[in-house]
Amino acid sequence: MTSRATYASSLMPWRVAGSYFEACNCEAVCPCRRIGKREGGRPSYGVCDFALSWHILNGQAGATDLKDLMVILAGSYDGGQPDSRWGVALYVDERGDETQRQALTDIFLGRLGGTTMRNFAAAIGEVYSIRPARVELDHTPGRQRVNAGVYVSFEGGDAVAADGPVACGIPGYDHPGQEQRANLMSVHEPRLDSELRGRCAFATDFDYRSDAE
């Protein structure tokens, strides 16, 4: 896959939309979620270890086509500390060319502002690694599976009921979805290491865009 033009400026318009799936080490329903009008709270175990994934079904950065590319972000933070920042590792789809991978990196780390910066990227304090990876995502409801080589693997499981619509701030509270109990969440990085079963997962869609028109 090649880009049609060179992506260049933080002032350019961009937009990415598609499916979203995540897992973390909290108990389901994740206490960080918003349920109906009830705001979320702190992680189940203080420290939150997480893995997030996006499949871009439609996307552009300037004239650079991002359609069908995939991104995973793994990380950790101390939810018991109000000012705790995320430490993260980013995995960008190796099928993209250099220009596409750079655009994905800048969008999902919040370097281009817009929805990603407002929803989650402002919480990133340190980027441990940025890796092109063979990202494999299946976001099909009921059989979600995510993999990035030897680094990240997680998969969905049984749906978990709640007493209202469940929403997560990362895709946006205007994108409610389905809480699940994950069959697996495995992350292996030099500074991120976890392997858990039976914790929470969440599936929905997303639509991020730049501030530029």
Give the model confidence (pLDDT) of 51-71 as tens digits: 999 999 999 999 999 999 999
The answer, yes or no, to whether residue 2 has pLDDT greater than 60, is no
Cα 209 to Cα 213: distance, rounded to the nearest angstrom: 9
% of the chain with per-residue pLDDT over 70: 94
Residue 106 domain-assigned (yes or no): yes
Residue 180 CA to residue 164 CA, distance in Å, equals: 14
Is 8 inside any structural domain? Answer: no
On whether residue 18 sits in a domain, the answer given is yes
7 in any annotated domain: no
Contact (CB, 8 A) for 162 and 200: no
Closest by CA to 169, choosing from 62, 81, 48, is: 48
Residue 54 placed within a domain: yes
Please report which helix (H) or strand (E) contains residue 116, including its range. helix 114-119
| Predicted confidence band of residue 10 (pLDDT cuts 50, 70, 90) | low
Contact call for residues 36 and 212 (beta carbons, < 8 A): no
Does the residue 160 lie in any domain?
yes
pLDDT at 18 over 70: yes
- Report the pLDDT value the prediction gives residue 83, as an integer from 0 to 100: 83
| Alpha-carbon span 190 to 51, nearest angstrom | 15
How far is residue 69's CA from residue 22's CA, in Å, rounded to a whole number? 17
Can you give the residue range of the structural domain that contains 117? 14-209
Domain count, the chain: 1
33 secondary structure, DSSP code: S
Residue 207, pLDDT score: 98
Please, are residues 1 and 97 in contact by the beta-carbon 8 Å criterion?
yes
Confidence check: pLDDT of 153 > 90: yes
Contact call for residues 208 and 114 (beta carbons, < 8 A) = yes
The residue count for the chain: 213
Q: What would the mean pLDDT of 12-30 be, rounded to a whole number?
A: 96
Structure tokens at 146: 């995510």
pLDDT at 4 (0 to 100): 37
Q: Is the pLDDT of residue 80 over 90?
A: no
What is the Cβ-side half-sphere exposure of residue 40, based on CA atoms within 13 angstroms? 19
Residue 48 lies in a domain: yes
Q: Residue 83 has which token pair? A: 């000012």
pLDDT at 1 over 50: no
pLDDT of residue 78: 95
Query: Does residue 159 form part of some domain?
Result: yes
